């Protein structure tokens, strides 16, 4: 073999390795949402956390011991018409099975783990896995910050939250956990993105079908006008007619401050109870209004009574939260 041929062969091998590494990275990146689900299960001290962690290790890292545990659990459960599918999913990285997606993985997780929130997400994903950004929505930082908010509500508030209005609530998957922990008369998701209306109403379908206990409305939160403690918003009824509804919030949640101007806050009536979150993730091109720290957040959103201020490190950025009365 000439020196040239040997060099070419070495180059081919190294190119193949690089391609394999890129594929591996893409695969893991597509399932980053497993990190957020892990935070959720840890937070609820779920008895099957170990089962979830095996699934995560096998899907993201092809861990052979985790694979063994998953296979043993299938054997214990016994063969069904879906066993082949489950085995394909857990062995995907070993047998180069390329058809695992959010939907299939969520369905497999629900086969292994008994959890209502996961079941809700799994059913929801049948319809929305292509349209919804599952990876971002259930990223570790997003889920951690919502669980942190629930913990603080539990510390500060009683059981009844009354009418909750979530500004820029995105897919409002957090509403399910709030419904579980608190008594909520109405939960409104005010969104500027039309896609989020159907996506969030479907995730909260039980409450949506319960006389609109959950409802989403197309609304620019920066330009809401309050009168007598409430505002008017417009929604479609089941006959596709546009109707106006007057909403009187007891609590405003805004976990998307970094995405909008400060007008939403200035337009709130004095004395309104608010929970807001913002962050210092300036590098994200979607963020137009970040802050450097909790002190800057306090200056930007001055409260007459502040019940809570805090920050958490989500690894990628810091998130800040204020709870108080404007």
List of residues contacting ligand SAM (CB under 6 A):
142, 168, 170, 190-193, 196, 220-222, 255-256, 259-260
Report in angstroms how near the CB of residue 12 gets to ligand SAM at its nearest.
Answer: 42
How many CB atoms are located within 10 Å of the residue 297 CB? 23
CA distances from 87 to 59, 110, 112, 150 (A): 12, 15, 13, 37
Of 24 and 136, which CB lies nearer to ligand SAM in the complex structure? 136
CB of 195 to ligand SAM, least distance (A): 8
CB of 298 to ligand SAM, least distance (A): 19
List, in order, residues 6 or more apart from 130 with CB less than 8 Å away: none
CB nearer to ligand SAM: pick between 100 and 260: 260
Q: Which residue is nearest to ligand SAM (CB)?
A: 168
Secondary structure of residue 114 in the 3-state scheme: coil
For ligand SAM, give the closer residue by CB, 193 or 315: 193
For the bound state, the minimum distance from the C-beta of residue 59 to ligand SAM, rounded and expressed in Å, comes to 24
Rounded CA separation 144/219 (Å):
26
Closest CA to 120 of 40, 27, 42: 40
**Residue 163's closest CA among 238, 209, 120, 215?**
215
Whole-angstrom distance, CA of residue 116 vs CA of residue 100: 22
CB nearer to ligand SAM: give 24 or 222. Answer: 222
Nearer to ligand SAM among residue 34 and residue 175 (C-beta): 175
**CB atoms near residue 317 (< 10 Å):** 17
Q: Please report where in the chains the tokens 């694979």 appear, as a residue.
A: 67
The single-letter DSSP state of residue 229 is T
- Residue 24 Cβ vs ligand SAM, minimum distance, rounded to whole Å: 27
Q: Residue 109 or 321: which CB sits closer to ligand SAM?
A: 321
User: Tokens 């009844």 appear where?
Assistant: 160
Nearest-approach distance from CB 318 to ligand SAM, in angstroms: 13
């Amino acid at each position: 073999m000439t020196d040239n041929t040997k060099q070419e062969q070495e180059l081919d091998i190294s190119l193949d390795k690089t391609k394999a590494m890129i594929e591996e990275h893409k695969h893991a990146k597509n399932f980053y949402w497993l990190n957020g689900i892990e935070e959720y299960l840890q937070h609820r001290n779920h008895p099957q956390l170990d089962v979830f962690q095996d699934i995560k290790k096998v899907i993201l890292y092809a861990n052979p011991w985790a694979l063994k545990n998953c296979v043993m659990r299938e054997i214990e459960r016994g063969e069904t018409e879906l066993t082949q599918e489950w085995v394909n999913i857990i062995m995907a990285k070993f047998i180069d099975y390329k058809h695992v997606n959010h939907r299939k993985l969520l369905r497999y997780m629900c086969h292994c783990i008994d959890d209502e929130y996961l079941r809700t997400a799994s059913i929801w994903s049948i319809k929305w896995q292509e349209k919804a950004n599952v990876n971002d929505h259930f990223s570790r930082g997003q889920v951690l910050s919502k669980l942190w908010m629930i913990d603080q509500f539990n510390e500060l508030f009683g059981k009844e939250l009354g009418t909750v209005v979530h500004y820029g609530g995105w897919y409002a998957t957090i509403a399910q956990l709030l419904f579980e922990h608190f008594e909520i008369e109405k939960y409104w998701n005010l969104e500027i993105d039309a896609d989020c209306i159907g996506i969030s109403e479907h995730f909260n379908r039980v409450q949506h079908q319960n006389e609109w206990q959950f409802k989403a409305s197309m609304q620019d939160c920066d330009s809401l006008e309050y009168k007598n403690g409430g505002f008017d918003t417009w929604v479609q009824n089941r006959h596709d007619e546009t109707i106006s509804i007057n909403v009187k919030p007891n609590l405003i949640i805004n976990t998307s401050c970094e995405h909008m101007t400060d007008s939403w806050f200035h337009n709130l009536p004095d004395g309104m109870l608010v929970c807001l979150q913002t962050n210092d993730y300036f590098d994200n091109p979607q963020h137009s209004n970040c802050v450097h720290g909790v002190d800057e957040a306090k200056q930007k959103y001055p409260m007459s009574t502040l019940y809570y201020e805090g920050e958490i490190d989500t690894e990628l950025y810091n998130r800040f939260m204020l709870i108080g009365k404007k």
